Amino acid sequence: MSSPPCSSSLEKQMDIEKADEEIEPLSADNDLYGGVKVEMKEPMDSKIYALRLKASLSEWRQQGKKGVWIKLPSELVNLVEPTMKEGFRYHHAEADYLMLVRWLPKTIPDTLPGNASHTVGIGAFVMNAKKEVLVVQERSGQFRGKGVWKMPTGAVNQGEDFCMAAIREVKEETGIDTKFLQVLAFSQTHQTFFGKSDLFFVCVLQPLSFDIKKQESEVEAAQWMPIESYAAQPYNQRHESFKYVSEICLAKSRGEYNGFAPVSMKTSSGKTFYLYSSSRDFQQVTQF
Amino acid sequence: MSSPPCSSSLEKQMDIEKADEEIEPLSADNDLYGGVKVEMKEPMDSKIYALRLKASLSEWRQQGKKGVWIKLPSELVNLVEPTMKEGFRYHHAEADYLMLVRWLPKTIPDTLPGNASHTVGIGAFVMNAKKEVLVVQERSGQFRGKGVWKMPTGAVNQGEDFCMAAIREVKEETGIDTKFLQVLAFSQTHQTFFGKSDLFFVCVLQPLSFDIKKQESEVEAAQWMPIESYAAQPYNQRHESFKYVSEICLAKSRGEYNGFAPVSMKTSSGKTFYLYSSSRDFQQVTQF
């Protein structure tokens, strides 16, 4: 826990002066929006990096570049401070890297894209032929110890289709296999998590197995519960949105409600994705 | 651009040794999940911070704390490296701060929440009584110079209701005032932006004004276009998802399609939010 000895500081200083004579700009790729991207990979002394970054910025400014992106893997944390000292700001971070950005033009407004703004969650309405709903009591969170029987819910991962997340969460929490059918409703709320917004999709899934094997770590109890008893719980009656969703589920159980069903499509670049729309109105898809 | 002179290093070293005798843990608040949150605000020497962090970690470990969150405003970038050296990882970043996290227990699995995973966008289907659709040609992006007439589209901001974002984008791009009616369809795609996923909502809005005043910076041209001509464009016919959405819009224009309409609700903590569901099936809401 001591400062570097003076001799080492002097050696470093000599290295830097040597570097000063032959400063090489950082290696960068052009992006599609008139900017450049630097992806640092190899370790670099922070003072040498600072000099190279300064030289690069001067070059990019002359070339009329707009946004400058610098991606620093977490191992190169020593380069964060010199980057910020050159007028960069944080753009976003993941466990293994930090992305910094700087807008160079003084006369053109900043059109840099924003950071991810939303988390996404699902609730799974799973009903068997006896009109019993698959419900759980949770060990933690806002429902802990309240005795409320609720649908399995969970967070959708980055890169995960939420219809697949619903199947995964039901399996994890209760051991039940399901088939995704429709989105019944969804909500958007704000300031839910570190200032982010949240989209929550209530989905209906068809059970393909029936023997519950509950997850020990998160689930206190799990059961099949008559849908009327589920909807009649005091918690669901007292809370406006829970009551509303319960009534949608009841309407669905009577065959009186139609949601949005997914259709698999391809983007122009060939990636598969799901588009959700009203299946009854638009095409014949297996109904629940 | 030189290393600090040796005398200053020695003074700093003495400060640190003094600090060593009376190390004060960092000020922290407990969170609701058995962890602690540190929000650094005042500048601190990085070496003194490193000692205080080490002392704090030892204390939190003894107390059985789980997740440790450290929020560093961008001015305190000098504290990023010492935090990472104590085994923290990046959690997320915004322009003005970096959040780092460390999971302390060795025997309990990490249940730390993830970072925001999705961006959200909207497309606005606005049709007048003559069955003409409000369309634009864009100055930049994938449609630039292609002559494609498309719906106004845009990004939803963090904290913004997407039904309001649709009204805002139409106003910004075309000057037309609108009323939000329904979500007609939505899609989820992946790897769209820095590895994030995207949710895109196609919305129908009712025009409340009709004289177009286009945005100069982003919009090349804007007009009211007969819906059949809009749908018949080669681009919309060639691309599966554009064709599908065009057909939904045509069905809607004939009154043969029903989407999800928003209902305003309150959370248990009193925050207002929108829940979207099938209005025809579930309640009487003004129809388009």
Which amino acid would we find at residue B110?
D
Judging contacts by C-beta atoms under 8 Å, the chain A residues touching residue B164 are none
pTM for this one? 0.80
The reply to whether A93 touches chain B by the CB within 8 Å rule is yes
The reply to whether B181 touches chain A by the CB within 8 Å rule is no
The one catalytic residue among B172, B216, B220, B240? B172
Judging contacts by C-beta atoms under 8 Å, the chain A residues touching residue B268 are 239
Residue A200 has pLDDT above 70, yes or no: yes
- Residue A90, SS3 per DSSP: strand
Do B273 and A190 count as a contact with CB atoms less than 8 A apart? yes
Q: Looking at per-residue confidence, does A284 or A37 come out higher?
A: A37
Contact A252, A287 (CB under 8 A): no
Residue A205 has pLDDT above 60, yes or no: yes
Characterize the bridge pairing of strands B67-73 and B97-103.
antiparallel
Do A185 and B277 count as a contact with CB atoms less than 8 A apart? yes
Mean pLDDT of chain B: 89
Active site residue B172: yes
* Nearest in space to A79 (alpha carbons), one of A56, A98, A55: A98
- Residue A121, SS3 per DSSP: strand
* Nearest in space to B275 (alpha carbons), one of B259, B260, B262: B262
Residues 214-253 of B with CB under 8 A from A: 239-241, 244-245, 247-248, 251
Radius of gyration of chain A (CA): 27
Q: Give the number of other Cβ atoms within 10 Å of residue A226's Cβ.
A: 12
Residue A286 has pLDDT above 50, yes or no: no
Task: Report the residue count for chain B.
Answer: 288
**Each residue of A32-46: pLDDT tens digit?**
788 999 999 999 999
- Taking each helix axis from N to C terminus, what angle separates A46-62 and A6-21, rounded to the nearest 10 degrees? 20
Which residue of chain B has the CA closest to A92?
B93
Radius of gyration of chain B (CA): 27
- Residue B83, SS3 per DSSP: helix
Of A12-21, A173-182, B93-102, B277-286, where does mean pLDDT reach its minimum? A12-21
Test the B interface: residue of A23, A79, A188 with most B CBs within 10 Å: A188
Q: What is the ipTM of this complex?
A: 0.80
